[in-house]
Structure 1
Amino acid sequence: MTDAAATPAATAPAGKDILGHPRGLAYLVFAEAWERFSYYGMQALLVLYLTNYLLLPEHVGAVAGFGQFRAFLGSIYGALDTPVATAAAITGLYSAGVYFTPMIGGFIADRWLGRTMTVTIGALFMVAGHFLMAFDVAFIAAISCLFIGVGLFKGNIASQVGELYGPDDLRRSSAYQYFLLGVQIAVIVAPIVTGFLGEKIAWHYGFGAAGVGMAIALVVYLSGRKYLPPERLRGAAARATPQAKLTGRDWATMAVLVALLPVLAATAIGNQEIFNAYLLWGEKHYDLVFFGQQMPVSWLVSLDAIISTVTVGGALVFWTVWSKYAKEPDEIIKLAIGALIAACAPLILAAASANEAATGQKASLIWGLGFHIVNDIGFAMIFPVGLALFSRAAPRQVGGMFIGVYYLHLFICNLATGKIAGLVETMDGAAFWTMHAAIVAGGAVALLAFAFLFRKLLAPTAETLAESAAPAAAA
């Protein structure tokens, strides 16, 4: 995966501008929004579908190759004795993989196929994967197609946004804001649509809706091909381009950034659990009756997306106002502050669990609202700030690669949640969520240690501050 902001100058294809931007941006924004609709629509259903349907004895026997797949999962997570543990492992592995495979997709595009061809092939794999989810027998083939498709699609379409602009074009930042706006809308809408269809009508209807969304993404992308940026040099021509050598300081900086990955993974554990154990816990312990109707538990994902949209904007406003009256802390201190806030969120769920145990009444969604607000305030100060740190601090020669490296902390985190989430049915709820709070708080303490030990090495300079631009689009 490459850093869109670090790509060479590109001349946008001819075409009338839309909202002051190259026409190709509109196609990329809408294609990404529909792809994210399909992804989050499917992810909101996955652990519930597995637990409540596919892994039940009357269905799991129909899944082709499931015995070998279970053995593979066991080699990663150990014994998986219950459907909940198996569902958590599958969801964790899938969620982890979609943050690892884009690095491979970016390499394939840079080296051989080019971005447009790679994105198109990835979209075709995802369309196939979503529609294969309609058949129990094809579950493993479906997950495999989605795995491959996301890897080919995700990072490359984000890079194409940056390649619509020259290196000095200030419109790039606002282009990524449009790009992320499309993603955010998709995250809000997708679980509402697929959750209603999947939980209220039939699981396969929900997955079918996700497949329709991916098919629309492919059509939109292909219809705008003539407005997409020209392909960069690749293969032998790219290797012939001279590159500046890395210095000793560069290597030290890269080592520190890599060492930060497991720490960042710890800070994200509560947030990433939202797609795994949190849905299973919420299904059993929340009072989901809303205006006399049972609310699909997958709608909690949409609630989180709505709140996170507000908190991300709120965090930007907060630090903007802060900077007028005092010096802003550097990125790693911001990360530690965000992690300390995020650590409080699982404690709200722990309190809800303790209250349920004491009263015998299911937890009100007010507890859930509190969890999402606190978690999203913390995560708004972690994810984009960490991305900015990696974008700024990584040496220019490997800047694009290190944007991909940054996403590996979510790969690590989701692998971990795949194991931890399986404990939700055996641990007391208060203990389960307190454990999550302790892990996140441990990450915050580790970040403070990194700030003390490596502040000079990671300190921003006037030059790098000007360059910590918008590669956040790969989110």
Structure 2
Amino acid sequence: MHAPTARSQERIWGHPKGLIFLALTEAWERFSFYGMRALLVLYMVQELLLPGRIENVAGMGAYRGFVEGVFGELSTQAFASQTFGLYAGFVYFTPLFGGLLADKWLGAKRVVMLGIALMTLGHFAMVFDWSFLLALLLLVLGSGCLKGNIAAQVGHLYERHEEALRSRGYAIFSTGINIGATIGPLVCGLLAQVYGWHVGFGAAGVFMLVAAVVYFSGLKYFAADRAVAPEGETLPPLTSAEWRLIGLIIAVMIITMFQNLAFEQLFNVGLLWVNERVDLTVGGFAVPPAWFASEDSFASILALPVLLAIWGWQAQRGREPDDLGKISTGALIMAASALMLALGSLSAPDGKVSILFPLAAFCLSGFSFMYQWPTVLALVSRRAPAKINAQMMAGAYLSLFFVGIASGFIARFYEPLGDTAFWLLHVGLSATGAVMVMVFGGTLRRRMDALEQEG
């Protein structure tokens, strides 16, 4: 178990004080991550991958040869989208190793510190053309150290019986994510539009340093890392009930991948669609396409008090949905988000689309996120066996690895399918996830409850 300390039990607003420092650390880290992410595919398509620039990137020839060897010959848009998908995917693959490193050897705190250092170097490496691929590598490795472990630390602050409080704690933590994800694309997108791409990328590096300061300031309020087995000894193996429980948790993660495919595509082809198809002039001002990534996160912030009020009202009447019910609702909302883009494409097949359609789409995706992702993290944190808790939290992010790779692959069909059919495809994917939860959710919940009692 993760041992609470006197300082980790200090409370503010009913939650452990450490939650505030973890949420603020994640806010600044997400500022950097989403600020850079909102620029990435636009930067590649509009500048970096063009003749005269692509030759400056160290290792690009070998990298492109490898990617096209696996996925076939790609247009500039398809190559940029596949690169974005690979980056977005591997950002969620490496947390598995970060969780292993924390559980077996270093503990979550040290691995998070390593992640902050690597991500800071990665953001600053984005300032130069030649180090573009190196920057992506450093960001992938750094995110692997940080993501699962900082999320696991949130769960370690709570006692096992604090189920409802833990879920709300993760919602607050996710709001930290969304504050950073709102401000990052706004600031980095505006700086990139006014002063150039590399200034926008450099700003992301500066705010990773702020994340480091906040994290170190809160160390005394975090729960102690779970003790690693003494040298020469081993931790007890997982029981058969624990292995079956892990299998059911993985099944839930797989189901959520359907709606996450549509969500991830908003920040890949979605931003390209906004740039190409939407009338972005408002009152003489050209809205930067990257700002729509901020809208999604801002909508998530607005969603938090609304959802907490709704869930509180439902709880008083004994009707608050369980974790799987919330995940299903999130999938339906994400289907509605993708539908807004399809309707926008239909509304102006040969002209510019009204800005209202992407505004509605990115707003709905923000509400979908708050219904689904904090709920997934809370479910994994609560149900995963203690001896591999950080690895299982990383496993939640691992599902997004496959989502990132798949979304990059699906992006190649944007040009041949046309935008209307492309977005209708994502409506179907999200709806499929919702139906699967409705069909299998009750059985999954009952089996997990039984296995926890057996274990």
| Equivalent position to 2:113, from 100, 108, 120 | 120
| Equivalent position to 2:3, from 9, 12, 28 | 9
Q: Is the 8 A contact 1:63 1:138 kept in 2?
A: yes
The one-character-per-residue Cα deviations of 1:48-82 (angstroms, maximum 9, x if unpaired) are 11111111111111111112212332355x12421
Match of 1:317 in 2: 309
Structure 1 residues 110 and 239: alpha-carbon distance in aligned structure 2, compared to 1, 3 A threshold: farther
Match of 1:425 in 2: 415
Structure 1 residue runs without a partner (length 5+): 1-6, 465-475
Q: Is the 8 A contact 1:392 1:460 kept in 2?
A: no
Q: Is the 8 A contact 1:345 1:371 kept in 2?
A: yes
Residues of 1 paired with 2:232 and 2:391: CA distance?
Answer: 15
Residues of 1 paired with 2:25 and 2:392: CA distance?
Answer: 25
Residues of 1 paired with 2:218 and 2:323: CA distance?
Answer: 38
| Equivalent position to 1:91, from 80, 84, 90 | 84
What residue identity is the alignment partner of 2:139?
Answer: L
Residues of 2 paired with 1:427 and 1:166: CA distance?
Answer: 51
TM-score (norm 1): 0.85
Identical amino acids, percent of aligned pairs: 37
Residues of 1 paired with 2:354 and 2:424: CA distance?
Answer: 19
SS state of the match for residue 442, structure 1?
A: helix
> Is the counterpart of residue 189 in structure 1 residue 183 in structure 2?
yes
Match of 1:332 in 2: 324
SS state of the match for residue 135, structure 1?
A: coil
> Is the counterpart of residue 411 in structure 1 residue 401 in structure 2?
yes
Residues of 1 paired with 2:219 and 2:119: CA distance?
Answer: 19
Q: CA RMSD in A?
A: 3.2
What is the CA-CA distance between 1:307 and the residue it aligns to?
A: 1.1
> Is the counterpart of residue 217 in structure 1 residue 211 in structure 2?
yes
| Equivalent position to 1:361, from 348, 351, 356 | 351
Match of 1:258 in 2: 250
Residues of 1 paired with 2:326 and 2:174: CA distance?
Answer: 22
The one-character-per-residue Cα deviations of 1:431-474 (angstroms, maximum 9, x if unpaired) are 1101111121222222233236545314589989xxxxxxxxxx
Residues of 1 paired with 2:450 and 2:309: CA distance?
Answer: 21
What is the CA-CA distance between 1:217 and the residue it aligns to?
A: 1.9
Match of 1:274 in 2: 266
Q: Is the 8 A contact 1:8 1:166 kept in 2?
A: no
The one-character-per-residue Cα deviations of 1:299-318 (angstroms, maximum 9, x if unpaired) are 00111111122234333332
| Equivalent position to 2:137, from 137, 141, 144 | 144
What is the CA-CA distance between 1:207 and the residue it aligns to?
A: 0.2
Structure 2 residue runs without a partner (length 5+): none
What is the CA-CA distance between 1:14 and the residue it aligns to?
A: 9.5
> Is the counterpart of residue 381 in structure 1 residue 375 in structure 2?
no
SS state of the match for residue 139, structure 2?
A: helix
What is the CA-CA distance between 1:381 and the residue it aligns to?
A: 2.7
Structure 1 residues 239 and 184: alpha-carbon distance in aligned structure 2, compared to 1, 3 A threshold: farther
Match of 2:276 in 1: 284
What residue identity is the alignment partner of 1:449?
Answer: V
Residues of 2 paired with 1:410 and 1:88: CA distance?
Answer: 16
Residues of 1 paired with 2:159 and 2:231: CA distance?
Answer: 21
Deviates more, 1:202-211 or 1:88-97: 88-97
The one-character-per-residue Cα deviations of 1:137-165 (angstroms, maximum 9, x if unpaired) are 11111111111111112232334445566
Structure 1 residues 75 and 108: alpha-carbon distance in aligned structure 2, compared to 1, 3 A threshold: farther
Structure 1 residues 259 and 75: alpha-carbon distance in aligned structure 2, compared to 1, 3 A threshold: farther
SS state of the match for residue 236, structure 1?
A: coil
| Equivalent position to 2:434, from 435, 438, 444 | 444
Match of 1:469 in 2: none
The one-character-per-residue Cα deviations of 1:383-412 (angstroms, maximum 9, x if unpaired) are 233334434444555444332222222222
Deviates more, 1:308-317 or 1:219-228: 219-228
Deviates more, 1:396-405 or 1:291-300: 396-405
| Equivalent position to 2:293, from 284, 296, 301 | 301
The one-character-per-residue Cα deviations of 1:213-248 (angstroms, maximum 9, x if unpaired) are 1122223434555665544422535954556x523x
Q: Is the 8 A contact 1:262 1:412 kept in 2?
A: no
Report how many residues are paired. 453
Residues of 2 paired with 1:21 and 1:384: CA distance?
Answer: 16
The one-character-per-residue Cα deviations of 1:261-295 (angstroms, maximum 9, x if unpaired) are 33211121221112111000000111111221101
Q: Is the 8 A contact 2:68 2:74 kept in 1?
A: no
Match of 1:470 in 2: none
